[in-house]
Structure 1
Amino acid sequence: MKKKRVAIQGIKASFHEEAAFKFFGEDIETVECSSFKKTCEALKNKEADYVVMAIENSIAGSLLPNYTLLRDYHLCIIGEVYLPIQLHLLALPGVKFEQVKNVESHPIAIRQCIDFIDEYPHLNVKESSDTAACAKRIRDEQLTDTVAIANQLAAKLYGLEILERRIESNKKNYTRFLILTEHKEGDVPNANKASLSFETNDEVGSLAKVLNIFAEHNVNMSKIQSMPVLGKRHEYNFYVDIEWDNHAQYTEAISKALRYTINFTLLGEYLKNDHV
């Protein structure tokens, strides 16, 4: 059978590829993309079958531009992955910490390791577009004075040694990734979670009415995110994640909520997967 083609932001051994492996297994073809928009373009142009896209981090919060991409490209959510973000200090084999002058990584990864970095003020910190790309550059250019902050997958793929393990400040840091495709593939068996997007009527209490409908039907709202509607003052898109035990109650809640919403979009129904 043909391997699934999965578009990721970044290169091989990035956290996006790690998330793709966790969901699909390692027998996939990774499509490397330099931006989140380009992952969507790869899907649109039939260069990929799926996209793995980070949507929120437990420290950095929501990746707001990615919500816009979900709507603009009419992407369908078919699953989710929660990935613990474990960051290590990687170097060429044989390099000692005393030799190191530079540390490179993605800006968010650097911020997540700032307590460790602050202990060594002599280190020159350099920002890059991708954690794995820093590891690859050390391997390709045989840099003996530079270390990368990246994951264990990058160390393995690019033949680097781990000088220091788990240097992230918060050991409970995780990122949630969405598994996306361009069209609905059919119902996900036993789906118990959905992501919605809608605007509400310009009336007092209209959002509260929608949320109360969910509560009255035992549908749990696990997340709500608002984004301004482009070009319209005081109007917002709401992105909501909901979970349920009884599918009939969920269906009835959606039917009633439609009365109080505008531009309602079901972004996807899928299996809740919050195992970190």
Structure 2
Amino acid sequence: MKKLTKVAIQGIKASFHEEAAFKFFGKDIQTIECNSFKQTCDVLAAGEADYVVMAIENSIAGSLLPNYTLIREYNFAVTGEVYLGIQLHLMALPGVKIEDVKYVTSHPIAIRQCIDFFDEFPHLKIVESVDTAACAKKIKEEQLTDTVAVANAMAAELYGLDIIERRIESNKKNYTRFLILKNDKAENPGIINKASICFQVGNHVGALSEVLNIFAKQDVNLSKIQSMPVLGKRNDYYFYVDMEWSDIAKYDEAIRRSLKYTVNFNIMGEYEKNDKV
């Protein structure tokens, strides 16, 4: 019997994290439900999962900054990425109408992404939760006729709810980027044309631009730069950078040269670009 790949996700079955895991690995996997992003990391560190699928940014809500810290502190390897188009639906028990509902429940980011829709229903009280799919599951299990959930179509199907309003997200080009993490930092087989790195620079004029210019001169495209303060150290920052290239030799040269101008330099992962939504 084939051993299934174990993938830790934040949330429960039919969550967006499980949907992203299916998109990257296919459906022939075993997903491990976790209550928090830290728990997914603990599961991976303990060897109870082969991979973690972790959201890192949303096109509307922005970056999930604490997740950068988790990846760095656990020293996991970024081994891939997947972009998922986020389609949010309003769902309830069969027969429930929106005019009869008092509460709407979902993850706070999902609620924020649908704020234009809820402005039209000021009578609805918002109840925040840790997971979109868990809200749908609770409505089913507790037979809540006064509550609607915001989640994906997988959740509606799995928990037997009716979708009463489709695509209620404010921006229809809404997507989330997820990183695929593993414990082993061994070299990634296959195509390598993207990397995620982390470093610090000195606190003086031009310190960061010196590093960025090195990559520019080697034709390495910096697709994202994210800064985060170093805990307890004023004016010290970690810089998290995603980069892409067409010539790996130029990337290798840029990395070699940038080491001279950085401290705590860490290649978090080298992998294949996968930005199709």
> What SS is found at the alignment partner of 2:123?
coil
Runs of 4+ in structure 1 off by over 4 angstroms are none
Contact in 2 for aligned 1:188/1:271 (Cα 8 Å)? no
Partner of 1:150: 151
1:112-132 CA-partner distances (Å, limit 9, x unpaired): 111111111222221111110
**3-state DSSP of counterpart to 2:60:** coil
8 Å contact from structure 2 (residues 199, 263) kept in 1 = yes
Report the CA distance shift for 1:242/1:57 in structure 2 as closer, same or farther (over 3 A). Answer: same
For 1:111 and 1:199, the matched residues in 2 are separated by 33
> For 1:22, what is the secondary structure of its paired residue?
helix
2:110 aligned counterpart, secondary structure:
helix
- Say whether the 8 Å CA contact 1:198–1:262 is kept in structure 2: yes
Q: Which moved more, 1:122-131 or 1:242-251?
A: 122-131
1:5 counterpart SS class: strand
In 2, the alpha carbon distance for the partners of 1:97 and 1:110 equals 16
Correspondence 1:25 to 2:26 = yes
Offset, 1:186: 2.9
The alpha carbon displacement at 1:231 in A equals: 2.2
Aligned counterpart, 2:131: 130
Name the CA distance, whole Å, in 2 between partners of 1:178 and 1:60: 17
Q: Distance in 2 between matches of 1:253 and 1:128?
A: 44
Pick closer, same or farther for the CA change 1:202–1:113 going to 2, 3 Å. closer
1:139 is aligned to: 140
- 1:98 and 1:229 map into 2 onto residues whose CA distance is 49
TM-superposed CA distance for 1:109, in Å, is 0.9
2-side partners of 1:23 and 1:38: how far apart?
Answer: 21
Separation in 1, partners of 2:180, 2:145: 38
Asked if 1:94 is matched to 2:78, the reply is: no
Note if contact 2:11-2:33 (Cα within 8 Å) is conserved in structure 1.
yes
Partner of 2:49: 48
CA contact (8 A) 1:188 1:269 kept: no
How far has the Cα of 1:188 moved from its partner? 3.2
Residue 204 of structure 1 deviates from its aligned partner by 3.1
Measured in 1, the distance between the counterparts of 2:176 and 2:127 equals 23
Describe how 1:1-276 pairs up with structure 2 within 5 A.
1-276=2-277
SS at match of 2:210: helix
The Cα of 1:146 is off from its aligned counterpart by: 1.2
1:203 CA drift (Å): 4.0
- Higher deviation after alignment, 190-199 or 225-234: 225-234
Name structure 1 gaps, 5 residues minimum: none
Distance between the aligned counterparts of 1:68 and 1:231, measured in 2?
14
Give, in whole Å, the separation in 2 of the partners of 1:12 and 1:187.
Answer: 28
The offset of 1:94, in angstroms, is: 2.4
Query: 1:165-216: per-residue Cα shift (whole Å, max 9, x none)?
Result: 0001111111111000111243231210000001113443221111111000
Change (3 A) 1:98 1:201: closer
Q: Which residue type is aligned with residue 112 of structure 1?
A: Q
Cα distance in 2 for residues equivalent to 1:38 and 1:266: 23
Unaligned runs of 5+ residues in structure 2 are none
Q: Is the 8 A contact 2:79 2:188 kept in 1?
A: no
Indicate if the aligned counterparts of 1:116 and 1:168 stay in contact, CA closer than 8 A: yes
Q: TM-score, normalised by structure 2?
A: 0.97
Structure-2 separation of matches of 1:222 and 1:100: 43
Do the aligned partners of residues 224 and 160 (structure 1) sit closer, same or farther apart at CA in structure 2, a change above 3 Å counting? Answer: same
Which residue identity lines up with residue 67 of structure 2 in the other structure?
A: N
Q: 2: distance between equivalents of 1:243 and 1:46? A: 30
In the TM superposition, residue 145 of structure 1 has moved relative to its aligned partner by 1.8
Read off the aligned partner of 2:250 and give its amino acid letter: Q
Alpha carbons of 1:27 and 1:185: their partners in 2 closer, same or farther (altered >3 Å)? farther
The residue type equivalent to 1:18 in the other structure is E
CA deviations over 1:33-80 (Å, ceiling 9, x no partner): 111111000001111111011111111111111111011100100000
